């Protein structure tokens, strides 16, 4: 029996590739697919916001203040007569873009620090990890609001601030992956036959780290959106007239609005939970699909 025949026999029950199995597990995940649909709706809303909104989210109509939902304004209007639906739809743009850029920033930082730390080991690893420990003692949110209060609150700064404080968890994850892969036979073999370090990192180790990083980034996206909405809620995030879900919710702190004008806060509250939920669902499905052993249940 030749080697190829042998391997075919061994693989007989499931001949499909690792990728195929990954996609199958992913698409079989019910909550994950619900999340994917929800996420697609959000992305669709963000891309086609001007079409969906119909009107400009910043246009005021002082004759139409605090009007409940009607045929013309399906979610009513706010205190200065702006269309709530339009602000909601444009808010998706803000949330998603802040989330994507912030997670992109800290994933890059974490990839650099984590791979150096995990691959180099020794003193370098020690220094980077102790620094990570120190930063992790500070509640990220407290650091973020500290800096957000001082920098001019615009959408760009918010992205950067969330981005620069998000890296510690991801760094630990990537470092751990590097550390364990570094000790595996295929990497040791590659080192032994003289494969250059660069190639070992990019060709042999990094592809194996992609899975956990994608999962962490998806869940991180949910976290970043939460943070952005919290910041905007405190008035430290995205500023008027740019619409943001968290910022809209600030008005719900006024009890008469909270009690009598649910159309002014309920849509945004739902949208935040909807967005975060969709990413958590999908992230969970990705995790199961990448590594079914991780979840024993």
Partner 1 sequence: MRTYILRRLAISAPILLGLTLVTFIFTELMPGDFVDALIPPLAIVNYTPEQLESMRENYGLNQPAPVRYLIWLRELGKGNMGKSLISGAPVRDEILQRMPATLQLTATSLLFGIIFGAVLGIVSAVKQYTWIDQMLTLLGFIWISTPGFVFAIGAIFLFSLKISLFPTSGITNYGEEASILTRVHHMFLPALVLGLGSMAGFMRYSRSSLLDVIRQDYITVARAKGLAEKAVLLGHALRNALIPLITIVSLDIPFLIGGTVIIEHIFAWPGMGTYSLTAIYSRDYPVIMGVNFMVALVVLLSNLLADITYAFADPRIRYE
Cα separation, 35 vs 13, whole angstroms: 31
How far apart are CB 193 and partner 1 at their closest, in Å?
34
Size of the residue set binding partner 1 (CB under 8 A): 47
Q: Would you say 150 or 210 has its CB closer to partner 1? A: 150
| DSSP class per residue in 39-82 | HHHHHHHHHTHHHHH-S-TT---TTSTTPPP-SSSTT-B-TTS-
Q: Comparing C-alpha atoms, which of 272, 159, 160, 169 is closest to residue 216?
A: 169
Task: Tell me if residue 15 falls in helix, strand or coil.
Answer: coil
What residues form DSSP beta bridges with 83? 77
What residues form DSSP beta bridges with 77? 83
Interaction of residue 127 with partner 1, rule CB under 8 A: no
How far apart are CB 159 and partner 1 at their closest, in Å?
18
Q: Would you say 11 or 133 has its CB closer to partner 1? A: 133
Stretch of 43-51, 141-149, 153-161, 178-186 lying at the interface with partner 1 (CB under 8 A): 141-149
Kindly identify the residues of this chain, within the stretch 148-167, that bind partner 1 according to CB under 8 A: 149-151
Kindly identify the residues of this chain, within the stretch 226-285, that bind partner 1 according to CB under 8 A: 226, 229-230, 233-234, 236, 246, 249, 252-253, 255, 258-259, 262, 265, 269, 272-273, 276-277, 280-281, 284
Exactly one of 68, 133, 202, 207 binds partner 1 (CB under 8 A); that residue is 133
Kindly identify the residues of this chain, within the stretch 18-47, that bind partner 1 according to CB under 8 A: 31
| DSSP class per residue in 228-275 | HHHHHHTTSSSPTTS--HHHHHGGGGSHHHHHH-HHHHHHHHHHHHHH
How far apart are CB 182 and partner 1 at their closest, in Å?
21
How far apart are CB 90 and partner 1 at their closest, in Å?
19
C-alpha distance from residue 16 to each of 13, 21, 285 (Å): 9, 7, 20
Q: Comparing C-alpha atoms, which of 227, 66, 85 is closest to residue 158?
A: 227
| DSSP class per residue in 105-140 | HHHHHHHHHHHHHHHH-HHHHHHHHHHHHHHHHS-H
Exactly one of 52, 74, 101, 143 binds partner 1 (CB under 8 A); that residue is 143
Q: Would you say 190 or 222 has its CB closer to partner 1? A: 222
Q: Which residues bind partner 1 (CB under 8 A)?
A: 31, 130-131, 133-143, 145-147, 149-151, 222, 226, 229-230, 233-234, 236, 246, 249, 252-253, 255, 258-259, 262, 265, 269, 272-273, 276-277, 280-281, 284, 295-297
């Amino acid at each position: 029996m030749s080697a190829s025949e042998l391997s075919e026999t061994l693989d007989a029950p499931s001949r499909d590739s690792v990728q195929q199995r990954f996609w199958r597990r992913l698409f079989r995940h019910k909550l994950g697919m619900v999340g994917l649909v929800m996420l697609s709706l959000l992305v669709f809303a963000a891309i086609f916001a001007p079409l969906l909104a119909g009107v400009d989210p910043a246009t005021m109509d002082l004759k139409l203040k605090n009007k409940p939902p009607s045929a013309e304004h399906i979610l009513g209007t706010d205190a200065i007569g702006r269309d709530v639906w339009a602000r909601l739809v444009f808010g998706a743009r803000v949330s998603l873009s802040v989330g994507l850029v912030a997670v992109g920033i800290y994933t890059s930082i974490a990839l650099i620090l984590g791979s150096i730390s995990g691959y180099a080991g020794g003193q370098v690893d020690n220094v980077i990890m102790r620094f990570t420990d120190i930063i992790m003692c500070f509640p990220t949110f407290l650091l973020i609001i500290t800096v957000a209060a001082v920098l001019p609150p615009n959408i760009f700064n918010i992205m950067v601030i969330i981005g620069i404080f998000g890296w510690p968890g991801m760094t630990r994850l990537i470092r751990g992956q590097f550390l364990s892969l570094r000790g595996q036979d295929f990497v040791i073999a590659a080192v032994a036959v003289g494969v250059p370090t660069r190639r070992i990192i990019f060709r042999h180790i990094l592809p194996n780290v992609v899975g956990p990083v994608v999962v962490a980034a998806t869940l991180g996206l949910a976290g970043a959106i939460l943070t952005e909405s919290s910041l905007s809620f405190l008035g430290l995030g995205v500023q008027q007239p740019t619409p943001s879900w968290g910022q809209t919710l600030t008005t719900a702190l006024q009890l008469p609005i909270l009690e009598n004008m649910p159309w002014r806060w309920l849509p945004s509250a739902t949208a935040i939970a909807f967005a975060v939920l969709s990413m958590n669902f999908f992230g969970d499905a990705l995790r199961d699909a990448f590594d079914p052993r991780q979840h024993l249940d």
